[in-house]
């Protein structure tokens, strides 16, 4: 098989959570360019509509679905809607996430549960649903979890994101564990660990620490609008067909120093 063919996703269906903006939209663009049919979900209908217009203008087939994944009872219905249109799901990108900043000793219960529900529980429940209904019966599939370099370490002085860091560490081991359980079904599960990217989630910290973050990076840059595209296509496609249970760090080298 040619290398180009290994990366080809023509005819496959990709469900991307948190796909209306930021990293999720970037990954949707990449998967669409390689031929995948797209289903993107988010909480806000107006942002989804803007993303749909954007992606369709690029020539990609797109289904949009309003869903709050922290309300777990909405997950089966979300999958129902995708299957009603596309009949299957071949690629699942668990990208939707949340964060909250507070000192550990003052961390609100509600904030802890919000972060854990969206960053840990929702990806499991959605993966379970897609696995049982699509990937296991089909004997193939790729699940990608957007984790973070924050899941590989603690926090620098002045940052108070204990729930986020904990949830992203859980996301990495979720990918490893599900990969070990579902490999015999032909399903691969991997995590992407971005560093700082220009996104709504990280905008406050980037504004506060921008020059310092650049100085910490061997590549002397913050992640941009193209920098996750290769990683998600690689992990979604047959180009990585012998790779599972791994965490791919995409951070400009910041985590190595």
Cα separation, 25 vs 51, in Å, equals: 7
**Cβ count near 56 (within 10 Å):** 13
Question: Structure tokens of 83?
Answer: 């299957």
Cα separation, 235 vs 171, in Å, equals: 16
Burial class (CB in 10 A: 0-12, 13-18, 19+), 41: buried
pLDDT tens by residue, the chain, 257 residues: 899 999 999 999 999 999 999 999 999 999 999 999 999 999 999 999 999 999 999 999 999 999 999 999 999 999 999 999 999 999 999 999 999 999 999 999 999 999 999 999 999 999 999 999 999 999 999 999 999 999 998 877 778 999 999 999 999 999 999 999 999 999 999 999 999 886 665 555 656 565 677 777 888 888 889 999 999 999 999 999 999 999 999 999 888 88
The yes-or-no answer on residue 164 being catalytic is: yes
Residues belonging to the chain: 257
- Domains of the chain from N-terminus onward: 3-195+225-249 (3.40.50.720)
Question: Structure tokens of 144?
Answer: 């990608």
The one catalytic residue in 86, 107, 164, 185 is 164
Cα separation, 120 vs 97, in Å, equals: 9
Cα separation, 94 vs 64, in Å, equals: 15
């Amino acid at each position: 098989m040619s290398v180009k063919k290994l990366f080809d996703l023509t005819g496959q269906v990709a469900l991307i959570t948190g796909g209306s903006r930021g990293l999720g939209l970037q990954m949707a663009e990449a998967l669409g360019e390689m031929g995948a049919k797209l289903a993107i979900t988010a909480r806000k209908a107006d942002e989804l509509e803007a993303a749909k217009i954007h992606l369709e203008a690029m020539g990609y087939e797109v289904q949009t679905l309003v869903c709050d994944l922290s309300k777990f009872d909405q997950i089966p219905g979300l999958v129902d809607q995708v299957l009603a249109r596309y009949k299957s799901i071949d690629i699942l990108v668990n990208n939707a996430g949340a964060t909250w900043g507070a000192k550990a000793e003052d961390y609100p219960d509600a904030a802890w549960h919000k972060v854990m529900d969206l960053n840990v529980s929702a990806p499991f429940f959605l993966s379970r649903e897609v696995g049982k209904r699509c990937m296991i019966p089909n004997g193939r599939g790729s699940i990608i979890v957007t984790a973070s370099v924050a899941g590989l370490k603690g926090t620098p002085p002045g940052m108070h994101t204990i729930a986020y860091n904990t949830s992203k560490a859980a996301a990495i081991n979720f990918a490893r564990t599900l990969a070990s359980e579902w490999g015999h079904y032909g399903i691969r599960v991997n995590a992407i660990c971005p560093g700082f990217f220009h996104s709504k989630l990280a905008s406050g910290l980037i504004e506060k620490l921008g020059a310092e973050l650049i100085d910490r990076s061997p590549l002397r840059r913050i992640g941009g609008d193209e920098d996750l595209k290769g990683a998600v296509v690689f992990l979604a496609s047959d180009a990585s067909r012998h790779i599972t249970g791994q965490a791919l760090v995409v951070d400009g080298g910041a985590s190595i120093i």
